[in-house]
Amino acid sequence: MPSKKALSLTAAAAALTLGLTACGGGGGGEGGGGEDPLQFGYVFPETGDLSHLGPPQIQAAKYALSEINEAGGVAGSEVPDILTGDEANDAAQANDAAKRLVDQDADIILGAAASGMTQAIMDTVTGAEVVECSGSNTAPGLASEDETGYYWRTAPSDTMQGPVLAQKIASDGHQSVAITYRADDYGEGLANATAEALKQNGIEVAFNEGYDPNTSNFDSVVSDVADADADAVVMVSFEEGVQIITGLIESGVSADQMYGTDGLNDETLAEKVDAENPGTIAGFQGTAPDNGEEKFIEGLTNFSSDLEVYQFSGQVYDCAIVTALAAEQAESTDPAVFVDEVRAVSREGTECSGFKECKDLIADGEDIDYQGVSGPINFDKDGNVTSATFQIYGYDDQGAHSKQDEITVDSEA
Q: Read off the pLDDT of residues 172-223 as tens digits, 9 standing for 90 and up.
A: 999 999 999 999 888 999 999 999 999 999 999 999 999 999 998 999 999 9
Are residues 106 and 191 located together in one domain of the fold? no
The whole-number average pLDDT for the span 373-386 is 92
pLDDT given for residue 411 in this prediction: 82
Least confident of 49-53, 58-62, 232-236, 275-279: 49-53
At 56, is the pLDDT very low, low, confident or very high (cuts 50, 70, 90)?
A: very high
Q: Do 58 and 304 contact (CB within 8 A), yes or no?
A: no
pLDDT given for residue 375 in this prediction: 87
The whole-number average pLDDT for the span 146-165 is 94
Residue 295 covered by a domain: no
Q: Is 230 exposed, middle or buried (0-12, 13-18, 19+ CB in 10 A)?
A: buried
Residue 15: is its pLDDT beyond 50? Answer: no
The one-letter amino acid code at 192 reads N
Phi, psi of 411 (to 5 degrees): -70, -15
At 412, is the pLDDT very low, low, confident or very high (cuts 50, 70, 90)?
A: confident
Are residues 50 and 167 located together in one domain of the fold? no
Are residues 322 and 237 located together in one domain of the fold? no
Are residues 125 and 168 located together in one domain of the fold? no
Domain carrying residue 69: 33-155+312-379
At 31, is the pLDDT very low, low, confident or very high (cuts 50, 70, 90)?
A: very low
Residue 385: is its pLDDT beyond 80? Answer: yes
Residue 48: is its pLDDT beyond 60? Answer: yes
Residue 85: is its pLDDT beyond 50? Answer: yes
Q: Do 184 and 118 contact (CB within 8 A), yes or no?
A: no
Compute CA distances 95 → 42, 52, 99, 298, 400, whole Å: 12, 20, 6, 34, 38
* Alpha-carbon span 96 to 243, nearest angstrom: 32
* Alpha-carbon span 103 to 97, nearest angstrom: 10
Dihedral, CA of residue 298, residue 303, residue 306 and residue 311, to nearest 10: -60
Provide the phi-psi class of 309: left if phi over 0, else alpha when psi is between -120 and 50, else beta: beta
Q: Prior bond to 327 cis, omega within 30?
A: no
Closest CA to 262 of 110, 391, 378: 391
Residue 185 covered by a domain: yes
pLDDT given for residue 291 in this prediction: 86
pLDDT given for residue 413 in this prediction: 66
Q: How many domains does the chain have?
A: 2
Residue 4: is its pLDDT beyond 80? Answer: no
Phi, psi of 57 (to 5 degrees): -75, -40
* Alpha-carbon span 86 to 323, nearest angstrom: 21
Least confident of 70-74, 83-87, 302-306: 302-306
* Alpha-carbon span 199 to 191, nearest angstrom: 12
* Alpha-carbon span 292 to 107, nearest angstrom: 25
pLDDT given for residue 29 in this prediction: 42
Mean pLDDT of the chain: 90
The one-letter amino acid code at 370 reads Y
Neighbouring C-beta atoms of residue 100, cutoff 10 Å: 15
Q: Do 82 and 62 contact (CB within 8 A), yes or no?
A: yes
Are residues 397 and 259 located together in one domain of the fold? yes
Are residues 172 and 134 located together in one domain of the fold? no
pLDDT given for residue 173 in this prediction: 96
Percentage of the chain surpassing pLDDT 90?
79
pLDDT given for residue 96 in this prediction: 98
At 144, is the pLDDT very low, low, confident or very high (cuts 50, 70, 90)?
A: confident
Are residues 39 and 122 located together in one domain of the fold? yes
Are residues 199 and 243 located together in one domain of the fold? yes
* Alpha-carbon span 376 to 352, nearest angstrom: 10
Closest CA to 130 of 90, 99, 154: 99
Q: Do 262 and 182 contact (CB within 8 A), yes or no?
A: no
CATH number at residue 326: 3.40.50.2300
Bigger pLDDT: 116 vs 362: 362
Are residues 273 and 203 located together in one domain of the fold? yes
Q: Prior bond to 112 cis, omega within 30?
A: yes
Q: Do 103 and 124 contact (CB within 8 A), yes or no?
A: no
* Helix or strand run (H / E) with residue 271: helix 269-273
Residue 398 covered by a domain: yes
pLDDT given for residue 28 in this prediction: 46
* Helix or strand run (H / E) with residue 133: strand 131-134
How wide is the angle at C-alpha 110 spanned by C-alphas 104 and 114, nearest 5°?
120
